[in-house]
Chains A and B, each alone.
Chain A
Amino acid sequence: MAGEKRPLVEFRFGHRRILARGEDTVAAALHRAGIRVLSRSVKYHRPRGYFCGTGRCTGCLMTVDGEPNVRTCQRSVEPGLQVEGQNAWPTVGLDLFGVLDRLFRRGMDYHHLLARPQALQPLLHRTVRRLSGLGKLPSTSSELPPARRMRKQVVVVGAGPGGVRAAQAAAEAGAAVLLIEADEQIGGHLLRLHPEFDCGSGREVLGELAEQSSESPGLELLLGATAFGSYASEGLAVVHRGELTLVEADRWIFAPGTGEEAIPFPNGDLPGILQEAAVRALVVRHKVRPGREAFLIGPLKRLQPLARLLESAGTEIVGTLVVEDLAPGRTESGEAPEQGGLSGFRLVGALGGRTVRAVVCEKDRERRRIPCDLVAICGAPHPQLDLFLQAGAEVQPSEGSMGEKPQVDQTFQTTVPGLYAVGEAAGCQGIEAVLLSGSCAGTAAAASLRPPSSDLVDLVQRAAMAYEQAAAKRRSPRA
């Protein structure tokens, strides 16, 4: 659990020995050791590094003990692990195939590339097959891991505040509950908040949630388990420590949270350009200084606490570009109320080689080049919809972002009967609304499994009303 100190661990990155803290992930330990380039991209062999910090992108895919494409921002360190970069020769730091990026400066149109002469096709295909593909399969086969089946009345996916509260509420209402979490700890995004710099954002309920979930008798917690497939008739496919588990349930509550919009811009894929969650994971969870000099882009209410957090880690803020609702195609700043902030500028792109070295911003004819080794991007949040869409739930546009959220009724049930959506993934904003959506869905899911009882119906209605009030208060804080 948080705060518990584990002994130091040594593993290898290529020939290099890396000393890690016991609670590190592989990617965080490499970042601390100054290793920014983790692998190379599949086509142009561009450098790839730590980017989303939440296991959603592919920046940190590496080969771990022979297994290719492991998300190293999610893999905990273990003594003696052998970690390698991917898609590079001889190493990810100095990849000779990186020349492909320059050869195909204007891009590679593989629909027409060397389509003639036909006689060369067999040779071309052989070469392309050798060069392409993500990672290399191990040469030896290992024994197949066992697979399991599990069945519970209510299964909750995601142990952020909404999911934990939903699981607790369902258990309190008498259901047998399984709570599935990909991380090794409960808390979701709260784990990336700092008790001091993110005061009032919900970090304070983390301890309470952990305590309640461990004391709830009807609640079983499965950590390190990632739900990757939702199949209508057969339930949920989960991979838990490398082993497949098929989970069946009478009621489902999905609380996968949100991801951040990735903002494309020239060289925006360089290592050292990180999403907010990744920066926060490095500083708050892994005690890693993410860079020496940081440039921040995003809405003011997220930049301010992030800047304080980075300064506490010893990072200097060299510039900020305030963009509310940062999303693809929207990178122009408004008024910059802060010193060092760029007002009315537009992000032009980044410069760098293996890692980012500067960002370039522009206003009218004025161009500014701001040297930095870290760019933190706070893109607008969007609900994680994969599991909902796989299950066949209808979605609708979400207010305040370009994303969509599942359509839900008053009890947070989606258009798929028996499937509920809670937390930020359901469009709830603010810790209070997130927790109330959990109470409401958890109680409703458990109540629907039993003969109608006026107590439970009351409880569901009260939770739904409390949510409505909290949401209304948030929409107009002065009312």
Chain B
Amino acid sequence: MTTAKTIICRCEDVTEADVRAALHLGFTDLESLKRYAGFGTGPCQGKGCLSAVRALVRETAEAGEPTTQRLRTRPPAVPVALGALAGKEEG
């Protein structure tokens, strides 16, 4: 049996409780929240977790405060073999 965890980030096994704990510690902006809790740092680069995290941030934020924060997006957007990146240009 698995224990009933609510996984928010499947890549790095970050739970809803982890994100709530980090929010409670005062990491309320997405970038520092990501650095502390670790979501969005895996192979999918936040495709699956971002809106769930935003919903939690919105829930804990002051009512009416807009949450249009976004994570900085960097390549690669999908997993790429290091060998391909090291490929030598032909000709």
Binding site for B on A (CB under 8 A): 41-44, 46-48, 51-52, 55-59, 61, 67, 69-71, 98, 101-102, 105-107, 109, 111, 134, 142, 144-149, 226-231, 237, 239, 242-244, 259, 261-270, 327-329, 349, 352-353, 382, 384-387, 389-390, 395, 397, 402-404
Contact B75 A237 (CB under 8 A): yes
B11 engages A42 (CB within 8 Å): yes
- Measured between beta carbons, the chain B residues less than 8 angstroms from A67 are 81
Smallest CB separation, A117 vs chain B (Å) = 24
> B19: shortest Cβ distance to chain A, in Å?
9
Given contact pairs A69-B79, A243-B84, A403-B51, A353 touches B73 in the complex (Cβ within 8 A): no
Instruction: Count how many chain B residues have C-beta atoms less than 8 Å from C-beta atoms of the other chain.
Output: 50
A263 to B48: give the CA distance in the assembly, Å: 9
> Do the beta carbons of B77 and A387 come within 8 Å of each other?
yes
User: Which residue of A70, A148, A270 contacts B90 across the interface (Cβ within 8 Å)?
Assistant: A148
Closest chain-A Cβ to B90's Cβ sits at a distance in Å of 5
**A-B Cβ contacts below 8 A, count:** 171
Q: Give bound CA distance, A404 to B50, whole Å.
A: 12
A70 to B21, CA, bound (A): 33
CB-based contact A262/B5 at 8 Å: no
Q: Does A142 lie within 8 Å of B47, measured CB to CB? A: no
Q: Residues of B contacting A328 with CB < 8 Å? A: 51-52, 54-56
Q: Does B85 contact A (CB under 8 A)?
A: yes
Is there an interface contact between A329 and B55, defined as CB atoms closer than 8 Å?
yes
Interface centre among B42, B45, B87 (most CB of A within 10 A): B87
Whether B81 lies near A55 (C-beta < 8 A) is no
Q: Are A148's CB and B78's CB within 8 A? A: no
- Selected from A105, A226, A243, A264, the residue in CB contact (under 8 A) with B87 is A243
Q: In this assembly, does B17 line the interface, its C-beta being within 8 Å of a C-beta of chain A? A: yes
Whether A105 contacts B59 by the Cβ 8 Å rule is no
Pair A55/B78 contact, Cβ less than 8 Å: yes
B4 in contact with A264 (CB, 8 Å) = no
Contact, CB under 8 Å: A149 / B89? yes
B36 partner residues in chain A, CB cutoff 8 A:
111
Residues A61 and B21 in contact, CB atoms below 8 Å apart: no
Asked if A244 contacts B85 (CB within 8 A), the reply is: yes
The closest CB in chain A to the CB of B72 belongs to A389
